[in-house]
């Protein structure tokens, strides 16, 4: 009995899924070490951090959750590494409840690697509910807004926090965010009002939203997705998870483009066989 003729338009999606799986796994097992060039928004962010005087206090705003961790965690890792290498002191403040333990997984080992001490060289203030209200509160007083750190120690007992009252004492804020509250709120409520230097790292899908802020100078620079993180790793000189992921992302993007082209060839051929132009379809 003759079956239905194979029609590529109705290809089983499991075949596509399998190809994507192979496209992700194969480059991870067999790295191709593709070259990574640095784009202007990443370069300006790096330059802004390089220009901060040694010993200054910088803030890491970590506002993401485990779902976007593969994209954003490399940015957090690299920023912390960059700050420690330049002897900058870090205050971590989170507006998302899942962020503090994710930052802890990065900052603890790096502090050990660079011989940094908790409470003197860095502090994790943890999560505070409130979003925009919390940001505005920090503009008036950071110790009042975050009365204790992530471990419950009152900020009055933390040496580093004796030098921090509000954004006047923060040389630079690096905001790594996956949504709301995040980069937009930091730009609108903090940069716009308190004129603090602000850089941002976001998911690739969110990055296009923030180009107006880069162009206006409200953002000192922007890391967009895994590629932005890989570029930053390249500049800092410590290739990490983002750099490793670039090969897989390259192959997957090429495969998706191939799917799109194939889909359109089939679509145009089917129209031609019906004697119609695309606009009439």
Partner 1 sequence: MRREIPLAITFLIGIFMLVDFFVPHHVVSSSAEEMKQWGTIVIAASILLGVGNLIRVHFHKIRRRREGWGYSITTLAIMGVMFFFGGPWGTIEEGSAFNWMFLNMQVPLQSTMFSLLAFFIASAAYRAFRLRSAEASLLLIAAIIVMLGRVPLGQLLTRSWPEAIQLPNMTEVIMAYPNMAAFRGILMGAALGVMAMGLRIILGIERSYLGGEK
25 binds partner 1 (CB under 8 A): no
Chosen residue from 13, 54, 273, 274 binding partner 1 by CB under 8 A: 13
Q: How far is the CB of 49 from partner 1 (least distance, A)?
A: 21
199-221 burial code (b ≥16 CB/10 A, e <16): bbbbbeebbeebeebbeeebbbb
Q: Tell me the closest approach of the beta carbon of residue 170 to partner 1, in angstroms.
A: 18
Stretch that binds partner 1, among 33-41, 54-62, 75-83, 115-123 (CB under 8 A): 33-41
Q: Under rule CB under 8 A, which residues in 247-276 are in contact with partner 1?
A: 247, 249-257, 259-264, 267-268
Cα separation, 281 vs 278, in Å, equals: 5
What is the spatial distance between Cα 273 and Cα 82, in angstroms, rounded to a whole number? 59
Residues 167-186 binding partner 1 (CB under 8 A) are: none
Site for partner 1 in 106-165 (CB under 8 A): 128-131, 133-134, 136-137, 140-141, 144-145, 150-151
DSSP letters spanning 218-251: SSS-EEEHHHHHHHHHHHHT---HHHHHHHHHHH
Interacting positions 187-226 with partner 1 (CB under 8 A)? 204, 207-209, 211-212, 215, 224-225
CB of 202 to partner 1, least distance (A): 13
Peptide bond into 181 cis (omega under 30): yes
102 binds partner 1 (CB under 8 A): yes
- Whole-Å CA distances, 172 to 56, 109, 221, 235: 9, 23, 12, 18
What residues from 34 to 93 belong to the interface with partner 1 (CB under 8 A)?
Answer: 34-37, 39-40, 65-70
Q: Strand, coil or helix: what is 171?
A: coil
Instruction: Point out which span in 48-56, 80-88, 99-107, 167-175 binds partner 1 (CB under 8 A).
Output: 99-107
């Amino acid at each position: 009995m003759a079956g239905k003729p194979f029609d590529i338009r109705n290809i089983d999606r499991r075949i596509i899924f399998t190809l994507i799986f192979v496209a992700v796994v194969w480059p991870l097992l067999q790295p191709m070490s593709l070259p990574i060039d640095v784009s202007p928004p990443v370069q300006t962010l790096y330059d802004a951090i390089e220009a901060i005087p040694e010993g200054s206090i910088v803030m890491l705003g970590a506002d993401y959750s485990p779902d976007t961790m593969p994209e954003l965690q490399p940015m957090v890792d690299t920023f912390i590494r960059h700050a420690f290498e330049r002897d900058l002191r870090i205050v971590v403040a989170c507006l998302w409840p899942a962020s503090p333990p994710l930052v802890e997984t990065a900052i603890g080992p790096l502090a050990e690697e660079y011989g940094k001490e908790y409470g003197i060289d860095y502090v994790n203030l943890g999560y505070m509910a409130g979003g925009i209200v919390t940001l505005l509160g920090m503009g008036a007083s950071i110790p009042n807004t975050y009365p204790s750190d992530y471990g419950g120690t009152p900020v009055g007992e933390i040496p580093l926090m004796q030098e921090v009252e509000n954004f006047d004492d923060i040389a630079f804020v690096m905001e790594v965010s996956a949504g709301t509250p995040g980069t937009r709120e930091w730009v609108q409520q903090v940069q716009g009002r308190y004129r603090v230097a602000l850089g941002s790292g976001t998911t690739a899908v969110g990055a296009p939203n923030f180009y107006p802020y880069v162009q206006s100078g409200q953002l000192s620079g922007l890391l967009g997705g895994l590629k932005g993180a890989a570029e930053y790793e390249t500049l800092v000189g410590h290739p990490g998870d983002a750099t490793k992921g670039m090969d897989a992302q390259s192959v997957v993007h090429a495969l998706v483009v191939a799917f799109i082209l194939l889909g359109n060839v089939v679509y145009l051929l089917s129209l031609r066989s019906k004697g119609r132009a695309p606009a009439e379809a």
